[in-house]
Amino acid sequence: MHNTTILMAHGAGGRMSRELIRAVFAAHFANPGLAPLSDAAVLPALPPGALALTTDSYVVQPLFFPGGDIGKLAVCGTVNDLAVSGATPLYLSAGFILEEGLPLETLTCVVASMAETARAAGVQIVTDDTKVVERGAADQLFINTAGVGVVPPGLTLGAARLCAGDALLVNGTVGDHGLALMLHRQEMAFQSDLESDCAPLNGLIAAALDAAPGQVHWMRDATRGGLATVLNEWVLDAPALGIEIEEEAIPLRPAVRAGCEFLGLDPLYAANEGKAVFAVAGEAASAVLAALRAHPLGENAAMIGRVAADHAGRVVLRTPYGSRRVLPMLASEPMPRIC
């Protein structure tokens, strides 16, 4: 390819479209499902179990940030949505909205990052699509993904399985992604190496499920709205129950704590892209926590609280001073375009 930027002709369906597909997408995403470059990927029969399907769109700015980029984010976000549903992620699709003038080098870096992340997660990107829009009609690059996975027979997760006494676990420090992106975007020079926690969690989640079969009752990845929003969604779906968490038990990096204090933000509402929240039967909490801590993405895992029979419909935070305060649902968007 002789051009250095995306042109409208790259989206016209002719020679330049074909060159872009082969030189960038097919070269990096190479796998048997994609190889024919037909209108749909024809895949092998799926393993036994229920089919899980998810889709998401990514419009993050900037495209590259400490610890990741829009491509890595797109793969991790889709893989994690499948994994917290109990599914083994298998296949992804990717749709690209490209703005005229986008440097081809930028697109190639993003696609290479997606391919590397997919390999690390053990999934294949088997079909994709590109559209080119006029200069100014998009913000460089948007990505839409869909993911397919299989939930093994006998695994059931959800609000109906929550019970008073369930332990609440998180696999590490919270708020890393939101604060890393915010500080980078605002060019705030904190003395820290804070990076996004963007990572595929399917291996970690499989280890947690294997550690206590049938004892993990619900899982969510705490992305937009952070930990507090996930917990509020849980009590809305199980209104007869409440949740109580211990402020001192929640793992936080010092840089996240300092950044939130400086910006006037609450780290419990800051976004994550590599953290899952687990509701686990109380008697199995130690086994699941040990499995999380044995995984590289769970070294800082912690038990942060429990599902309670009181506080019905509320999330309550116990402070280090013994007092309690209610954590409400997020009512605004303090960190725009974090995914």
pLDDT at 78: 98
CATH of domain 159-326: 3.90.650.10
What's the one-letter identity of residue 158? G
Report pLDDT digits (tens) over 243-270.
999 999 999 999 999 989 988 889 999 9
> Which CATH fold would you assign to the domain 8-151?
60s Ribosomal Protein L30; Chain: A; (3.30.1330)
Question: Hey, where are the domains in the chain?
Answer: 8-151, 159-326
pLDDT at 193: 82
Report pLDDT digits (tens) over 268-325.
999 999 999 999 999 999 999 999 999 999 999 999 999 999 999 999 999 999 899 9
What global pTM score does this model have?
Answer: 0.96
> Could you report the average pLDDT of every consecutive run of 10 residues in the chain (339 residues)?
88 92 94 92 95 97 95 98 98 98 98 98 97 96 98 96 97 96 74 88 98 98 95 96 97 94 91 98 98 98 97 95 91 77
pLDDT at 182: 87
What's the Rg (C-alpha) of the chain?
21
Using alpha carbons, select from 268, 228, 292, 52 the residue that is nearest to residue 157: 52
Residues 279 and 212: their CA atoms lie apart, in Å, by: 12
- The secondary structure of 6-24 as a DSSP string is --GGGGSSSHHHHHHIIII
275 DSSP assignment: -
pLDDT at 1: 64
168-191 CB burial, b ≥16 within 10 A, e <16: bbbbbbbbbbbbbbbbbbeeeeee
Yes or no: say if 256 and 227 are a contact pair by the CB < 8 Å rule: no
Crossing angle for the helix pair 202-211 and 70-83, to the nearest 10 degrees: 20
